Every structure is written in structure tokens, then in C-alpha cells.
């Protein structure tokens, strides 16, 4: 069984005092978890402070995005060396909200992944279809294109350092999660793509998370699926008790 990865994407939420309080509470509740990997992804202004709180725990720090250049005249952007300098080990790349609101494409996502890998960050590549695309029967084409173009020109060794998160756009923030069967279908598709391009050994070890209205109520049935290697959690990661419950569900399943 692949080791579960549970990441909390705080999106554009929490002031600094609120972020510090949440990180402190999570450290108390799940800071010693050993059987799953836990990542917190607060907004950029809170990264350093949250990192200071969790640095002597088993919780890791992640960012929500990065730019592909190392430095320069790119007002409002954040570079990979900046993220590593405050303790980040993970970074979310290509989230559907970045694609929808800020014009990110598979090609710019690819460039961001290159920057992340160059500086030792583990990219979490987000892929997923909209409701319209699913209802039109184009889910497979959309996800396949996002994976292939997002990973274009990477070697197997580089791909092995990544994570993919399947996030059906129609399930993000809607309270409507994909059923385990729907999630497994897409995770299996992604794994077969990896297998065909990079070999069975890499594909079998590769972690594919599910994201999209993950809650303490549905975490167990999602995470118990062999194809689902963790969760990228949005709204439920903004409260310590609910995020801790999801993490503990993953921890229990690792002992099953």
C-alpha cells in the first residue's frame, strides 16, 4: 500500500493570528502522526509563521502556487527559492481555481513544475474536469491532456518526485464529492497513463490524491480505496477538528 498524503489547502482564508492558532491546534492533534504524510498549505503571508509552529512536528509545509522564474521583475509573484527559504517542501501546481481565474494553462503549469523540482519542492499537480466536460463525455480526454501536457518533457526520475491530485472541478467547494467509484475510475486512468509512459514500477508507487469536498463524513470511504493515495482538502482543512478527523481516518486505514 502506498503511503497516504493528506494536504490542507487553506486557499485565501485566515489572517495571521487565525493561521497561527489553527497550525498550533493541528500540531497538538496530529503533529505526531507517523503513518500518513500531512501537509499544510496556508496563504503566502502565513507560510513562515505556520512553518515555525510546525517545524518540530511531523507536519510539513506547502505553498499554494509558485512562478517559474527564480527572481526578477514579476510583481506579485513568488519564486521557488523563496518558498524553500521559509521551509516549504511541497507546492500545489495547476489548481483549477488558478486555471479558471488566472489563466493558467497546461504549458504554464509545466513550467512551474520544472521550477519546483529544480529547487527540491514536491509538486502536487492538480487535474480534473468541469461538470460540463463530464456530462459531455470528455472527462477522459480532458484529464489525459492535462496529465500528458503537464508532465511533458520530464524524465521518469523527475515524475517519481511528484504527486498528482485528481480534483473534479464540479466537486470543489460544492459539497458534492465524487463517489469512490468515480474517483477510482479517474485515478486508474491516470495510473495507466503513467504506466504507459514511465513504466509499471513508477506507476505502482506513484501517489494520486483525491480532492473535492472531502469531509470527515466521506473521508473513510474514499481513502479506503486502494487507488486513492490521500486527499487534497479545502474547506474541511480550515477547522482543526475536521482536518484532524480526515488525517486520523487515513492513519487508521494504514493499519488495516
- Active site residues per annotation: 95, 167
**188 backbone φψ class: left, alpha, beta (φ>0; ψ -120 to 50):** alpha
Amino acid at each position: 500500500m502506498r503511503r497516504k498524503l493528506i494536504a490542507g489547502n487553506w486557499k485565501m482564508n485566515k489572517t495571521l493570528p487565525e493561521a497561527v492558532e489553527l497550525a498550533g491546534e493541528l500540531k497538538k492533534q496530529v503533529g505526531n502522526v507517523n503513518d500518513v504524510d500531512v501537509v499544510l498549505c496556508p496563504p503566502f503571508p502565513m507560510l513562515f509563521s505556520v512553518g515555525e509552529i510546525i517545524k518540530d512536528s511531523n507536519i510539513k509545509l506547502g505553498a499554494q502556487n509558485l512562478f517559474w522564474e527564480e527572481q526578477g521583475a514579476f510583481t506579485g509573484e513568488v519564486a521557488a527559492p523563496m518558498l524553500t527559504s521559509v521551509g516549504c517542501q511541497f507546492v500545489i501546481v495547476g489548481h483549477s481555481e488558478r486555471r479558471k481565474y488566472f489563466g493558467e494553462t497546461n504549458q504554464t503549469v509545466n513550467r512551474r513544475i520544472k521550477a519546483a523540482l529544480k529547487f527540491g519542492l514536491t509538486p502536487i499537480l492538480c487535474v480534473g474536469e468541469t461538470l460540463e466536460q463530464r456530462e459531455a463525455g470528455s472527462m477522459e480526454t480532458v484529464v489525459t491532456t492535462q496529465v500528458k501536457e503537464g508532465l511533458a518533457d520530464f524524465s521518469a526520475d523527475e515524475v517519481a518526485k511528484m504527486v498528482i491530485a485528481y480534483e473534479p472541478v464540479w466537486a470543489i467547494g460544492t459539497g458534492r464529492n465524487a463517489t469512490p467509484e468515480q474517483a477510482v475510475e479517474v485515478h486508474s486512468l491516470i495510473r495507466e497513463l503513467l504506466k504507459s509512459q514511465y513504466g509499471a514500477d513508477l506507476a505502482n508507487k506513484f501517489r494520486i490524491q483525491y480532492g473535492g469536498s472531502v469531509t470527515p463524513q466521506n473521508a473513510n470511504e474514499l481513502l479506503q480505496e486502494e487507488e486513492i493515495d490521500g486527499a487534497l482538502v479545502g474547506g474541511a482543512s480550515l477547522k482543526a477538528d475536521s482536518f484532524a478527523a480526515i488525517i486520523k481516518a487515513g492513519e487508521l486505514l494504514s493499519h488495516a
